Structure 1
């Protein structure tokens, strides 16, 4: 049981970390020269596969793209769902 809790905690931390990566990706759009750096290429490489799931949704309004916001919200829902399931099973 302790191992399960540890694995779930790590999974929840990874989701938090990935959410931060997505926010960094969004902030990089304000300074486009960051995309060419090694850090920018790394952020793009790990964030684009997940963000590509939201590309075909009509999430652009008034010239702003809200796909990253929706992607982070979906991650938060997944995180909450995992917590509810684990609490229901273990406790």
Structure 2
């Protein structure tokens, strides 16, 4: 069970890195239209769209990726604690 949890945590970390790379690519002109950018868009956008209801700060700064990463970290932390609670006991 712990091994499955380790895989889930590892996949969540890679997904977090994908979100960060996708956000950083938005600062570079034409980077999101590249093959990597389109692939990341297909992977990351469905999750980020859940958090797009948060209005940008000052009309320019979109904090939805930050909230999405925090939510992912909270979910993984909660899952880890639940699994460890039932496996260790």
Q: Which of the five TM-score ranges fits, normalised by the shorter chain?
A: over 0.9
CA distance in 1, matches of 2:77, 2:37: 29
Contact 2:25/2:32 (<8 A) preserved: yes
Give TM-score, length-normalised by structure 2.
0.93
Q: Which stretches of structure 1, 4 residues or more, deviate above 2 A after TM superposition?
A: none
The total of aligned residue pairs comes to 87
Q: Are 2:4 and 1:7 aligned? A: yes
Shift of 1:87: 1.1
Higher RCO (CA 8 Å, separation ≥ 6 residues): 2
Give TM-score, length-normalised by structure 1.
0.91
CA distance in 2, matches of 1:90, 1:32: 48
RMSD, aligned α-carbons: 0.9
Q: Are 2:9 and 1:22 aligned? A: no
Shift of 1:14: 0.5
> Would you tell me which structure has more helix in proportion to its own residues?
1
Contact 2:22/2:32 (<8 A) preserved: no
Shift of 1:36: 1.2
